[in-house]
Amino acid sequence: MRRPYSLPLVALLALVVLLLASCGDSDAQLDTSEPWDLVWITDSMGAGVAEAWADRIEEAEGVEVRVHNHAIGGMPLVEARDMLMKKAAIREEVADAEIVVAYGSAQYASPEDTGTCHTPSPTPRDPPNVYTSADFAPYGDALRDIYDVVFELRAGEPTVIRVFDIFNGLIADWREAGIEAECTATWDSESEALREAADDYGVVMASFYDEFNGPDHDEDPREKGYIAFDGWHASSDGVAVQVEVLHDLGYDTIIP
């Protein structure tokens, strides 16, 4: 008896790969006749940006933007993930949000000795080991978990989804402390872990790191006036730069 027609295994696998590769892609644009909701979940490296970006969007796109700001100082990405998974009110906000941004530090998701790079001090100290993005796999996986939730909550709806990497305001301190080479490598690997995770979901990453520190990540943003008096966070000029980096990426959507 002749068997029912079926796709050859190779062709079937190729079809599956094609469908997965197109997941999240879309040319759909957001409707500017209705307000946009922006959910902003970050640590203090994103403080002050959400409202300023909303103003920039309203100016450029002619649409009202309602900000749901969840910037919490010192929040690691793993805690941002847990918050998104467990807090019903935030999940409801994301379900209705045209724009979703999530970021947090690599704390609890990175090798322990990399913490020395996040200390704003010129005091000489031992550098961390040199790590690759693979060593920050738990960091990237935390972002993937976040996108799984966002994609579930926004299923079928055009959405602007962003992550950013952070600028390095500490490079002058590193130079005095004798740890610049190793810490730059660490910073690069943290950034790459986020980019790899974002790429897996078709999400665009905004690189504050490239903008503040230059393409080779060797420029001092303090000299540019981008860093606040604490030597670590963004100044008002720095926040304005962060806004422009986000705005310049545009508002093309993906459909989870």
> Over the chain (256 residues), what is each successive 10-residue block's mean pLDDT?
35 36 59 96 97 98 98 97 97 98 97 94 96 97 98 98 98 98 97 98 98 98 97 97 98 96
Q: Give the start-to-end residue ranges of the domains of the chain.
A: 35-248
Single out the residue of 197, 195, 209 nearest to residue 245, CA to CA.
209
Residue 69: enclosing H or E segment and its boundaries?
strand 65-71
For residue 26, the model assigns a pLDDT of 52
> At residue 68, what is the residue type?
H
Residue 39: enclosing H or E segment and its boundaries?
strand 36-42
Instruction: Tell which CATH architecture fits domain 35-248.
Output: 3-Layer(aba) Sandwich (3.40)
Segments in the chain forming alpha helices (H): 9-22, 49-61, 77-86, 88-95, 137-153, 171-177, 180-200, 208-213, 236-248
| Token couple for 150 | 């966002």
For residue 29, the model assigns a pLDDT of 86
Note the pTM of the prediction, 2 decimals: 0.89
| Token couple for 60 | 């450029």
User: End-to-end CA distance of the chain, in Å?
Assistant: 43
For residue 49, the model assigns a pLDDT of 98
Cα(178)–Cα(228) distance, rounded to whole angstroms? 23
Q: Which residues contact 194 (CB under 8 A, 6 or more apart)?
A: 139, 140, 143, 163, 165, 205
For residue 27, the model assigns a pLDDT of 57
Q: Is 124 left (phi over 0), alpha (psi -120 to 50) or beta?
A: beta
